[in-house]
Amino acid sequence: MQLTLEFGGGLELLCQSVKIHNVQVDTPVKEEKLTMKDLLSWVCTNLIKERPEMFMKGDSVRPGVLVLVNDCDWELSGQLDTTLEEKDVVVFISTLHGG
C-alpha cells in the first residue's frame, strides 16, 4: 500500500531529518487491511533510526504526538484501529517543545 508519511515538530530528527516519506507498506499476512497499529510497528522498524522512545510508548505514539490521517485527528477515526487506504497521508507532529 502506497502511503505518504510526514514528520514534524522535531520528530523528523528521528528519521535522519527527512520530513516526508513516500513508502510502500505491505498489509500483514493474516489481515485484509492495514491499521495504524500495523503502520506504527512498520515505522519503528523501517524509518525511526534513533531514539524510538521519543516516538513510541508501548504500542502507540507517545503523549504529545499529534497524529493526522488525511488531515483528520486519528482520535476521531479510532486511533490504533484506524484503517488505512491506498495513498493516505499520515502526519506525525510533536506538540512538545523546549522553552
Q: Is 20 helix (H, G, I), strand (E, B) or coil?
A: strand
Q: Which domain holds residue 35?
A: 2-94
Q: Are 53 and 14 in contact (CB under 8 A)?
A: no
User: Domain of 7: which CATH number?
Assistant: 3.10.20.30
The answer to whether residue 18 is domain-embedded is yes
pLDDT at 98: 63
Look at residue 28 in the predicted model and tell me its pLDDT. Answer: 79
Is 99 within a domain? no
Rounded Cα gap, residues 78 and 32, in angstroms: 17
Question: For 28, left (φ over 0), alpha (ψ -120 to 50), or beta?
Answer: beta
pLDDT tens-digit profile of 35-74? 999 999 999 999 998 888 889 999 999 999 999 999 999 9
pTM of the predicted protein model: 0.92
Q: Are 68 and 93 in contact (CB under 8 A)?
A: yes
Question: In the chain, what is the greatest distance between 2 CA atoms, to the nearest angstrom?
Answer: 46
The model's confidence at residue 6, banded by pLDDT at 50, 70 and 90, is: very high
Count structural domains, the chain: 1
